[in-house]
């Protein structure tokens, strides 16, 4: 399983990198390579050119500033996962990242790379859709900011054009009083999720839910915000009946058809169960007591 | 069998474009010219003759090829040699002492019978070593060690002895 | 003083080397100038090949040669049928390169040899093939129907073999019975997935006329014999070396895989060494698989639970070819009654061709499937008769005083009558129950249910015929200078620790430390009488052969030492690498004894000089070597077992089922096993534990997903789910040692033990956990979340 031939470029500046991409319609960005290189070794991906962005200036680092966490293109999963500022600013991130493959993959793979790969069962796209993150793409025509909701279009398909490079991704800091939860069902530890659900919410002074954010991966051709479920929970006391209603309301969001691992009906079952459990956990954490 | 056949003319190497790769491997500076698409795993094994790093799947799942890239465990089968330009690579060959004395992690494996065929072992050791070298606190609970080892497949041992070896290694290294 | 090492947990001699990354697996062996092979493999399950055009591949820069079936001369033949059997109608084996038709996705069509593997793969992709698609039938039952698409045109109904074995009088037993239980069970296809894929390298030395082949095989001697015959070379001109091998599990005992013939051929033709290093995708679509069986099993019992008779009819999927004969189905047949008396047995199998990778033994070799059938049937019988499932087993166990217990009419894989020779089945069952808390578990289960958790207890028993013949040999030589002891046998190792286990056997006899015993095997130049490593036979057959040779060597040492020390032989003891006169400090080192036993004219070093101060060299009148005497301290002995010796065990586990997420977590797994005397309990546990992990794989995770069109959907480790450490629970292994009465060491095999009972344990545990929700049965493994979900939905959960 050896990769096919490609031309290799290692630009030092963003402009150079964009020019290389624009010069060849089959050129691809190489960042961590943890998704791309296996595909090349299987020869299901045969880019004619790899533009290795690891030496491009200005693409490293994580910053927490003004309520936003800024993640540059070459930030490895593990760097984000272990960053103490990020842990304080948004504890959901480290919790979700513990489910991303395995540590050696997280040491090399990049957050932005996972977003651009856009596997509908992956955790990073789910995270960005859940929290309404944004991505910044730079191309020959300039720079643009793309909200996560618009970025993920379909199976392995994003709004990024072939000659654009996503240079950074942004997530919000989690409000002090917000509760959060994430879990997924996988076959083995570290596998892609059969179904994964993330939840963030706040409770008002009378203990009613507000600003409920719920999203799922593995149920469609891209991560999905469960708007109907959110509507069924906002303003309620999150009683069993409310959780049941949310679970029921989310069933239609499952559009992924049967495959060798699971059926639609199984995904709906798991989705409902995870929503119930995770909303309860998020509610427990809400109020600020669970933050480090 | 008669010896009359003329040895066929066979080319020395492929027509692949070649690149110069300069990196540090086990503390030594290395500079080679290789095919642009050569995987780091093949570079280490066949260009440098460091065959301790093994190839089990070439899609990043089994962990047999795990080495340290700039101090962190990574899959050499998912890295091109040319990507490793300027990097520090550490392989299993660098773990024991110069006189062959086993590192405590290796010693623990031997004591706990944590290897059978030995094919997954270098990758296991490099993964565990990398975690021990991280500044993060080690979770040495049953689940914590399993989590540490997930990502390295072993088909021989059933993992129980490897889990014991990690615990034993932590003892030997004063990390328990 | 020396301590007895047989039975001790001795650390392995080989470990430091492997831990330092200094192993020598086939691809590690430096072969200057080597060329590399890659294969074009069929992307279609069944097709006629209309045309092959290799011209673009041949002209690709860096390519040395491209071969199709037309370019390989006499190798273009159906490869050997290893184990003939009359039950096979018209047995089919594949050709090294397909001729005319392809029969499964992955079948080799052409071989490219090039300067490196990357180039070889490029060229293989340039080979153009025109296929005419043929229809396929992937379902085992459908494949047998009239009119089903045929894998082989001249094998009607895809029936590869049909065999019935009868023990006792099953018709009579069924006539007398008071209760009948009948179920159908299924085990799905899996693969060994060793961490090192297969590998072959060959070097032809035209000057000496010698062919050297490095092969990650479990059967180097058998491979050598085959190669010598096929290439028409003298056997002593063919050397096969199985160096370090990264796991075998049965997959690597088959010969021949196409590459094992084609790579040596290419090396001979191209006058360059040639290497073929199978990649993981190829291992999935080219190397043997196993497990698919569907059993319809019926028990005829009395209301007391005593099982009078058993009828089992099963379908066995043999893939597209049957090179290993009916071994897997035969082993399943002969294991079907497990550890139970059941004196009347009717067992039938139909081996069915499907257009898939061929099926040859994978660890367990049919025993897991048979165990799954009988254990699920016993559980069902217990439920129907309202008898506790532990109790019903106890009532049916062969008791200790009934051994040896023959099953007339059932012939094991060695062609000999099945006879269970020894064991303490009841005791093992008691130990298993107690290890999981006995009666306390029920209380635990109740408490958990009150909290909304579903815990279940799974339990299963198994027997394992081990140590089959025909024979193995052991050769021992004490090195004349160093006194180290060299041991050879005809096996190869894939991680079983032969280097240490066999060293322990010899160390005790000869009085040296196991670290001073050097075991060299897997090389036909070192020893070339023998069969292979498989079927849990290494310790029994080679172990006993080596033991016999060690006893002979010991006697020679004692005689020589008595002579040199001028003492009575009964006063000599061996320890610390020397011979001592008991109760004195007079001794002679083993090295000196060995040197002295080789009458020398020239003392070329100190050791040789020192040897001459003792009796033999100077005190003789006449020939230095007496009539019938050989120089050196050396012996070769053989052991041929009278029959297989039957190991057994009981496995049990506590599982937790989450009925909402449909996940199963094994909380704790216990294994009581008995493989007779254990040479090294640490290594035994390692083997058992590894087997249990593979068993868990088969119970919950591992299924090769063949699609209706014959394509294999999960030909990667990403999608074929080999368990990680996170999927394996804490495992507790308890030993019983009932020595085998069949061999001097009293050992039984254990290599396959761990994987046999796991499927039944997990299925019965999940059933037990979900009982409060309804009468759900699980008779199909691997038990996936989807299957759980569907079963729960069917009862309204």
Co-location of B50 and B72 in the same domain: yes
Confidence of residue A166 (pLDDT cuts 50, 70, 90): very high
Q: Say if CB C318 and CB C351 are below 8 A apart.
A: yes
Pick the CATH number of C415-466+644-797 from 1.10.260.40, 3.40.50.300, 2.30.42.10, 3.30.365.10: 3.30.365.10
Q: Do the domain assignments include residue B147? A: yes
Asked if B78 lies within 8 A of A4 by C-beta distance, the reply is no
Spell out which residues of chain B touch residue A5, defining contact as CB-CB under 8 Å. 16-17, 36-37
How far is residue C499 from each of residues A112, B122, C683, C685, measured CA to CA in Å? 50, 20, 11, 17
Q: What is the DSSP letter of C337?
A: T
Q: Which helix (H) or strand (E) holds C420?
A: strand C417-420
Q: Say if CB A244 and CB A236 are below 8 A apart.
A: no
Spell out which residues of chain A touch residue B59, defining contact as CB-CB under 8 Å. 1, 38, 41-42
- Residue C617, pLDDT above cutoff 50: no
Asked if A104 lies within 8 A of B80 by C-beta distance, the reply is no
Asked if B110 lies within 8 A of C64 by C-beta distance, the reply is no
Q: Which chain C residue shows the shortest CA-CA distance from B163?
A: C725
Spell out which residues of chain C touch residue A265, defining contact as CB-CB under 8 Å. 789-790, 793
Separation CA C204–CA C313 (nearest Å):
50
Confidence of residue C627 (pLDDT cuts 50, 70, 90): confident
CA B102 to chain A, closest CA, distance in angstroms equals 23
In DSSP notation, A23-47 reads H-TTEEEESS-TTHHHHHHTTS---
Of the candidates C104, C52, C99, the one whose C-alpha atom is nearest the C-alpha of residue C77 is: C99
Neighbours of chain C (3+ CB pairs under 8 A): A, B
Q: Say if CB C208 and CB C217 are below 8 A apart.
A: no
Asked if the domains at C415-466+644-797 and C469-639 fall in one CATH topology, the answer is yes
pLDDT at B3: 62
- Residue A288, pLDDT above cutoff 80: no
- The CATH number that applies at residue B41 is 3.10.20.30
Fold of A62-172: 3.30.465
Q: Which CATH architecture has domain C469-639?
A: 2-Layer Sandwich (3.30)
Separation CA C366–CA C388 (nearest Å):
28
Of the candidates A59, A55, A82, A81, the one whose C-alpha atom is nearest the C-alpha of residue A72 is: A59
Write the pLDDT tens digit of every residue in C720-740.
999 999 999 999 999 999 999
Task: Taking residues C170-174, report their average pLDDT.
Answer: 98
Q: Report the 3 state secondary structure along C276-299.
A: EECCHHHHHHHCCEECCEEEEEEE
- Residue C616, pLDDT above cutoff 60: no
Q: What is the DSSP letter of B44?
A: I
Asked, as a colleague might, if the bond just before C53 is cis with ω within 30 of 0, I would say no
CA B4 to chain C, closest CA, distance in angstroms equals 10
CA B118 to chain C, closest CA, distance in angstroms equals 6
As to burial, measured by CB atoms within 10 angstroms (0-12 exposed, 13-18 middle, 19+ buried), residue C655 is buried
Q: Within a 10 A sphere around the Cβ of C642, how many other Cβ atoms? A: 11
Write the pLDDT tens digit of every residue in C50-91.
999 999 999 999 999 999 999 999 999 999 999 999 999 899
Q: Quote the Cα angle for C385-C388-C389, to 5°.
A: 95
Q: Quote the Cα angle for C526-C531-C533, to 5°.
A: 90
Q: Quote the Cα angle for B47-B49-B51, to 5°.
A: 120
Using CB atoms, pick whichever of B19, B73, B136 lies closest to residue A107.
B73
Where among B57, B72, B94 does a domain terminate?
Answer: B94
CA B49 to chain A, closest CA, distance in angstroms equals 19
pLDDT at C597: 86
Q: Which helix (H) or strand (E) holds C310?
A: strand C307-319
Q: Quote the Cα angle for A128-B143-C372, to 5°.
A: 105
Q: Which residues contact C190 (CB under 8 A, 6 or more apart)?
A: C289, C290, C291, C362, C697, C698, C702, C703, C704
Q: Report the share of chain A in percent with pLDDT over 70.
A: 98
CA C279 to chain A, closest CA, distance in angstroms equals 6
Q: Do the domain assignments include residue B6? A: no
- Residue B112, pLDDT above cutoff 90: yes
- Residue C202, pLDDT above cutoff 80: yes
B158 touches chain C (CB under 8 A): yes
A55 touches chain C (CB under 8 A): no
Fold of A179-285: Enolase-like; domain 1 (3.30.390)
- Residue C618, pLDDT above cutoff 80: no
Using CB atoms, pick whichever of B7, B35, B49 lies closest to residue C118.
B35
Write the pLDDT tens digit of every residue in C318-360.
999 999 999 999 999 999 999 999 999 999 999 999 999 999 9
Instruction: State the residue range of the domain holding B124.
Output: 104-172
Asked if A52 lies within 8 A of B83 by C-beta distance, the reply is yes
Q: Which of B64, B68, B119, B153 would you mutate first to test chain C, the one with the most C CBs within 10 A? A: B119
Q: Report the share of chain C in percent with pLDDT over 70.
A: 98
Q: Say if CB C783 and CB C766 are below 8 A apart.
A: yes
pLDDT at C279: 98
Domain boundaries in chain C?
Answer: 415-466+644-797, 469-639
Q: Which residues contact A51 (CB under 8 A, 6 or more apart)?
A: A9, A11, A17, A20, A21, A27, A28, A29, A30
Task: Taking residues A157-162, report their average pLDDT.
Answer: 98
Spell out which residues of chain B touch residue C682, defining contact as CB-CB under 8 Å. 113
In DSSP notation, C609-670 reads HHHTTSHHHHS-SS-SS-TT--SSSEEEEEE--SS-EEEEEEEEEEEEEETTTTEEEEEEEE
Spell out which residues of chain A touch residue B17, defining contact as CB-CB under 8 Å. 5, 7
Asked if C662 lies within 8 A of A266 by C-beta distance, the reply is yes
Using CB atoms, pick whichever of B37, B147, B148 lies closest to residue A6.
B37
3-state secondary structure (DSSP) of residue C352: strand
Q: Which residues contact B111 (CB under 8 A, 6 or more apart)?
A: B165, B168, C11
End-to-end CA distance of chain C: 68
Asked if B158 lies within 8 A of C731 by C-beta distance, the reply is yes
Count CA atoms within 13 Å of residue C51 on its CB side: 4
- Residue C613, pLDDT above cutoff 60: no
Average confidence score pLDDT of chain C: 95
Q: Quote the Cα angle for A154-A156-A160, to 5°.
A: 85
- In the sheet where C47-53 sits, what is the strand order? C101-102, C47-53, C128-133
Interface of C with A in 689-718 (CB under 8 A): 701, 705, 713-714, 716, 718
Q: Which residues contact C283 (CB under 8 A, 6 or more apart)?
A: C191, C193, C197, C198
How far is residue B20 from each of residues A16, A233, A243, measured CA to CA in Å? 21, 59, 60
Give Cα C264 distance to the centre of its chain. 26
Taking only Cα atoms into account, the Rg of chain C, rounded to an integer number of angstroms, comes to: 28
3-state secondary structure (DSSP) of residue C767: helix
Co-location of B88 and B109 in the same domain: no
Could you tell me which residues are beta bridge partners of residue C489? C474, C521
Domain boundaries in chain A?
Answer: 7-52, 62-172, 179-285
Interface of B with C in 40-99 (CB under 8 A): 45, 49-59, 61-62, 64, 91-93, 95-96
Q: Which of A10, A101, A102 would you mutate first to test chain B, the one with the most B CBs within 10 A? A: A102
pLDDT at C480: 83
Q: Which CATH architecture has domain A7-52?
A: 2-Layer Sandwich (3.30)
- Structural domain total, chain B: 2
Separation CA A82–CA B94 (nearest Å):
27
- Residue C615, pLDDT above cutoff 50: no
Could you tell me which residues are beta bridge partners of residue C464? C647
How far is residue C234 from each of residues C86, C222, C274, measured CA to CA in Å? 31, 14, 21
- The CATH number that applies at residue B131 is 1.10.150.120
Asked if C280 lies within 8 A of A1 by C-beta distance, the reply is yes
Report phi then psi at C129, rounded to 5. -125, 135
CA A69 to chain C, closest CA, distance in angstroms equals 32
Spell out which residues of chain A touch residue C784, defining contact as CB-CB under 8 Å. 261
Write the pLDDT tens digit of every residue in A58-71.
999 999 999 999 99
Co-location of B71 and B126 in the same domain: no
Neighbours of chain A (3+ CB pairs under 8 A): B, C
CA C549 to chain B, closest CA, distance in angstroms equals 26
- Residue C609, pLDDT above cutoff 90: no
Cα pseudo-dihedral B107, B110, B112, B117, rounded to 10 = 140
Asked if C249 lies within 8 A of B158 by C-beta distance, the reply is no
Q: How many residues does chain C have?
A: 797
Q: Which of B117, B145, B148, B169 would you mutate first to test chain C, the one with the most C CBs within 10 A? A: B117
Separation CA A123–CA A114 (nearest Å):
9
pLDDT at C363: 97
Q: Which of A1, A33, A104, A186 would you mutate first to test chain B, the one with the most B CBs within 10 A? A: A104
Asked if A108 lies within 8 A of B83 by C-beta distance, the reply is no
- Residue C619, pLDDT above cutoff 70: no
Where among B94, B122, B154 does a domain terminate?
Answer: B94
Numbered residues of chain B with Cβ closer than 8 Å to any chain A Cβ: 16-17, 19, 36-37, 39, 58-60, 63, 66, 69, 72-75, 77-80, 82-83, 85, 127, 130-131, 136, 146-148, 150-151
Average confidence score pLDDT of chain A: 96
Q: Within a 10 A sphere around the Cβ of C148, how many other Cβ atoms? A: 18
Q: Do the domain assignments include residue B85? A: yes
Q: Within a 10 A sphere around the Cβ of C552, how many other Cβ atoms? A: 18
What are the E-state strand segments in C467-617? 472-478, 485-489, 517-521, 572-575, 578-581, 587-589
Q: Do the domain assignments include residue B12? A: no
Confidence of residue C1 (pLDDT cuts 50, 70, 90): very low
Give the ipTM. 0.97
Spell out which residues of chain C touch residue A261, defining contact as CB-CB under 8 Å. 784-786
Of the candidates A116, A87, A119, the one whose C-alpha atom is nearest the C-alpha of residue A101 is: A119
Write the pLDDT tens digit of every residue in B65-108.
999 999 999 999 999 999 999 999 999 999 999 999 999 999 99
Q: Which residues contact C4 (CB under 8 A, 6 or more apart)?
A: C508
Co-location of B63 and B85 in the same domain: yes
CA C738 to chain B, closest CA, distance in angstroms equals 25
Report phi then psi at C699, rounded to 5. -80, -35
Confidence of residue A287 (pLDDT cuts 50, 70, 90): confident
Asked if B78 lies within 8 A of A82 by C-beta distance, the reply is no
Q: Which long-range contacts (CB under 8 A, 24 or more apart) does C414-418 make?
A: C414/C468, C414/C469, C414/C470, C414/C643, C414/C644, C416/C643, C416/C644, C417/C643, C418/C334, C418/C465, C418/C644
Give Cα C762 distance to the centre of its chain. 23
Asked if C726 lies within 8 A of A270 by C-beta distance, the reply is no
pLDDT at C216: 98
CA C662 to chain A, closest CA, distance in angstroms equals 8
Q: Which residues contact C73 (CB under 8 A, 6 or more apart)?
A: none
Confidence of residue A260 (pLDDT cuts 50, 70, 90): confident
Write the pLDDT tens digit of every residue in A117-150.
999 999 999 999 999 999 999 999 999 999 999 9
Q: Report the share of chain C in percent with pLDDT over 90.
A: 92
């Amino acid at each position: 399983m050896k990769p096919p031939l490609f031309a290799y470029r290692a630009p030092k500046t963003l402009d150079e990198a964009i020019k290389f991409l624009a010069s060849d319609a089959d050129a691809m960005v190489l960042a961590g390579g943890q998704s791309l290189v296996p595909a090349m070794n299987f020869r299901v991906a045969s880019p004619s050119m790899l533009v290795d962005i690891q030496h491009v200036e200005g693409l490293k680092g994580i910053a927490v500033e003004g309520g936003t966490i800024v993640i540059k293109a070459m930030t490895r999963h593990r760097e984000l996962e272990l960053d103490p500022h990020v842990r304080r600013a948004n504890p959901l991130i480290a919790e979700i990242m513990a489910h991303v493959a395995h540590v050696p993959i997280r040491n090399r793979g990049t957050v932005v790379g996972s977003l651009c790969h856009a596997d509908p069962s992956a955790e990073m796209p789910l995270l960005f859709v859940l929290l309404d993150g944004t991505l910044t793409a730079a191309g020959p025509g300039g720079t643009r900011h793309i909200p996560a909701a618009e970025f993920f279009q379909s199976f392995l398909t994003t709004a990024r054009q072939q000659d654009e490079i996503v240079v950074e991704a942004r997530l919000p800091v989690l409000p002090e009083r917000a509760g959060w939860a994430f879990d997924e069902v996988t076959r083995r530890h570290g596998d892609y999720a059969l179904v994964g659900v993330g939840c963030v919410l706040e409770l008002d002074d009378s203990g009613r839910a507000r600003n409920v954010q719920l999203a799922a991966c593995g149920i469609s051709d891209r991560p999905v915000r469960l708007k109907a479920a959110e509507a069924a929970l906002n303003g309620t006391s999150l009683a069993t009946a409310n959780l049941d209603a949310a679970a029921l309301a989310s069933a239609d969001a499952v559009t992924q058809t049967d495959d060798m691992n699971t059926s639609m009906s199984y995904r709906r079952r798991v989705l409902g169960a995870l929503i119930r459990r995770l909303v309860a956990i998020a509610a427990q954490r809400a109020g600020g007591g669970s933050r480090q | 069998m008669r010896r009359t056949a003329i040895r066929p003319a066979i080319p020395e190497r492929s027509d692949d474009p070649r690149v110069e790769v300069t990196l540090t491997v086990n503390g030594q500076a290395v500079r080679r010219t290789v095919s642009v698409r050569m995987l780091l795993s093949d570079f280490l094994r066949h260009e440098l003759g460091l065959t301790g790093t093994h190839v089990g799947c070439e899609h990043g799942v089994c962990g047999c090829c795990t080495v340290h890239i700039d101090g962190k465990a990574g899959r050499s089968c998912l890295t091109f040699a040319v990507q490793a330009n300027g990097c520090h690579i550490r392989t299993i060959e660098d773990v024991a002492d110069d006189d062959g004395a086993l590192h405590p992690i290796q010693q623990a494996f031997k004591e706990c019978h944590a290897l059978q065929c030995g094919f997954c072992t270098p990758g296991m050791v490099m993964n565990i070593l990398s975690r021990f070298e991280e500044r993060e606190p080690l979770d040495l609970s049953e689940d914590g060690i399993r989590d540490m080892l997930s990502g390295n497949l072993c088909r021989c041992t059933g993992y129980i002895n490897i889990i014991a070896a990690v615990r034993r290694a932590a003892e030997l290294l004063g990390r328990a | 003083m020396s301590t007895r090492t047989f039975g001790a947990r001795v650390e392995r001699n080989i470990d430091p080397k492997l831990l330092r990354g200094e192993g020598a697996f086939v691809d590690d062996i430096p072969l200057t100038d080597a060329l590399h092979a890659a294969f074009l493999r069929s992307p279609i399950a069944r097709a006629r090949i209309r045309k092959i055009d290799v011209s673009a591949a041949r002209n690709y820069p860096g390519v040395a040669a491209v071969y199709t079936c037309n370019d390989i001369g006499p190798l273009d033949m159906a490869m050997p049928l290893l184990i003939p059997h009359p039950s096979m109608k018209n047995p089919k084996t594949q050709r090294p390169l397909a001729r005319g038709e392809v029969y499964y996705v992955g079948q080799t069509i052409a071989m490219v040899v090039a300067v490196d593997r990357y180039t070889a793969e490029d060229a293989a992709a340039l080979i153009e093939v025109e296929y005419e698609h043929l229809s396929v039938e992937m379902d085992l039952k459908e494949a047998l129907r009239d009119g089903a698409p045929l894998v082989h045109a001249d094998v009607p109904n895809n029936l590869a073999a049909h065999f019935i074995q009868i023990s006792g009088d099953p018709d009579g037993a069924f006539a007398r019975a008071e209760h009948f239980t009948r179920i159908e069970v299924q085990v799905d296809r899996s693969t060994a997935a060793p961490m090192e894929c297969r590998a072959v390298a060959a070097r032809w030395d035209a000057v000496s006329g010698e062919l050297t082949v490095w092969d990650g095989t479990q059967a180097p001697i058998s491979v050598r014999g085959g190669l010598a015959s096929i290439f028409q070379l003298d056997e002593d001109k063919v050397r096969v070396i199985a160096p370090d091998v990264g796991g075998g599990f049965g997959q690597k005992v088959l010969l021949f895989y196409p590459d094992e013939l084609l790579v040596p051929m290419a090396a001979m033709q191209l006058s360059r060494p040639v290497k073929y290093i199978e990649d993981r995708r190829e291992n999935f679509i080219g190397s043997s698989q196993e497990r698919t069986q569907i059993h319809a099993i019926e028990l005829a019992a009395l209301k007391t639970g005593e099982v009078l008779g058993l009828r089992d009819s099963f379908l066995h999927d043999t893939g597209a070819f049957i090179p290993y004969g009916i071994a897997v189905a035969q082993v399943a047949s002969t294991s079907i009654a497990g550890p139970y008396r059941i004196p009347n047995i009717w067992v039938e199998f139909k081996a069915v061709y499907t257009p898939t990778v061929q099926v040859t033994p994978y660890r367990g070799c049919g025993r897991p499937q048979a165990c799954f059938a009988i254990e699920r049937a016993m559980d069902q019988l217990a439920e129907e008769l309202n008898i506790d499932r532990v109790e019903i087993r106890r009532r049916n166990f062969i008791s200790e005083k009934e051994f040896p217990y023959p099953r007339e009419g059932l012939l094991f894989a060695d062609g000999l009558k099945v006879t269970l020779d020894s064991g303490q089945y009841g005791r093992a069952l008691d130990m298993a129950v107690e290890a999981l808390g006995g009666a306390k578990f029920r209380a635990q289960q109740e408490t958990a249910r009150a909290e909304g958790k579903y815990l279940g207890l799974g339990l299963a028993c198994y027997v394992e015929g081990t140590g089959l013949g025909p024979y193995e040999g052991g050769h021992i030589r004490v090195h004349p200078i160093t006194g180290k002891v060299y041991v050879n046998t005809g096996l190869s190792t894939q991680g079983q620790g032969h280097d240490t286990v066999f060293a322990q056997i010899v160390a005790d006899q000869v009085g040296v430390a196991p670290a001073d015993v050097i075991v060299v095997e897997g090389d036909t130049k070192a020893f070339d009488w023998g069969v292979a490593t498989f079927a849990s036979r290494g310790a029994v057959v080679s172990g006993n052969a080596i033991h016999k040779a060690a006893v002979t060597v010991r006697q020679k040492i004692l005689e020589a030492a008595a002579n040199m020390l001028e003492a009575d032989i009964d006063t000599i003891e061996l320890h610390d690498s020397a011979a001592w006169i008991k109760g004195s400090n007079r001794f002679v080192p083993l090295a000196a004894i060995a040197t002295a036993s080789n009458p020398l004219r020239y003392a070329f070093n100190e050791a040789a000089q020192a040897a001459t101060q003792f009796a033999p060299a100077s005190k003789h009148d006449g020939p230095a070597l007496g009539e019938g005497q050989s120089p050196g301290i050396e012996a070769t002995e053989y052991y041929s077992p009278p029959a297989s010796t039957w190991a057994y065990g009981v496995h049990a586990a506590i599982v937790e089922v989450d009925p909402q997420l449909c996940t199963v977590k094994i909380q704790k797994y216990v294994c009581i096993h008995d493989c007779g005397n254990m040479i090294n309990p640490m290594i035994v546990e390692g083997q058992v534990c590894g087997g249990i992990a593979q068993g868990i794989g088969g119970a919950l995770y591992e299924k090769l997903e063949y699609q209706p069109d014959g394509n294999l959907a999960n030909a990667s480790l990403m999608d074929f789910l080999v368990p990680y450490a996170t999927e394996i629970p804490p495992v507790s292994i308890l030993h019983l040692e009932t020595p085998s009465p069949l061999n001097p060491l009293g050992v039984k095999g254990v290599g396959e033990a761990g994987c046999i009972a796991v499927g039944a344990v997990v299925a019965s545990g999940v059933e037990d956990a979900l009982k409060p929700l309804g009468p759900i049965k699980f008779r199909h493994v691997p038990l996936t979340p989807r299957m759980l979900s569907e079963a729960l939905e069917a009862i309204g959960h």
